[in-house]
Structure 1
Amino acid sequence: MELITEKPVKQFDTSAIAKGNLIYAKHSSWDAGKSGFVTGVNGNEIAVQFHPGIGNVTNHFFILASEAAAGQWEIRWSVDMSEVYEYGITHEEEPVENGGQE
């Protein structure tokens, strides 16, 4: 009997997102997303620091790679706001009136 098994695991690409990046994330159970910055990232999770709107306080939330891969997170992030990357966000096409005919 094998003690160790190999299986594919979904992980974050740490070359795509890094500590200090700006981030907006919304979990499927939340009414609204939160904006903050990445304070830590590894293959399994992203730590995000955000301001909860209470005085001089900051807080954290964690994005698990397994949850992101399962479609539970909508994520936007940027290094310098010149280019914004997205993950898990679906863009609905606006309906075209008259089937595109004038």
Structure 2
Amino acid sequence: MQVAIPHNLSNDDVRYRLRTRSHEIADHIPGGMAEVETEWPSPDTMLMTIRFMGQTLAGNVVLEEGQMVLNLDLPPALGFIAPLVESSVRKHGQDLLAPPEA
């Protein structure tokens, strides 16, 4: 599954906001028991490991000019939730890019 989230920020701003808010990703996964680990193998790629509902999902976020692109491997057993995941990613992806509160 791939979801592009457009923005009007520099990649430096997106990188900063993702680094400081990536812990919030788990808060947006239904069920409230998700664990999310992230790492940055390169300046424009954030890798994610998401554990929830007895599943481990691998994904990444790639920063491109004017958008960030989430790539997530959903196992066949969870394919039915793809529309829900995409909707949540679009909504909460914008939340992660919002300006930090003062």
Instruction: Indicate the TM-score class for this superposition, using the shorter chain for normalisation.
Output: 0.3 to 0.5
Q: TM-score, normalised by structure 2?
A: 0.36
Greater per-residue helix proportion: 2
Give the number of the structure with larger relative contact order, counting CA–CA contacts within 8 Å between residues 6 or more apart.
Answer: 2
Q: TM-score, normalised by structure 1?
A: 0.36
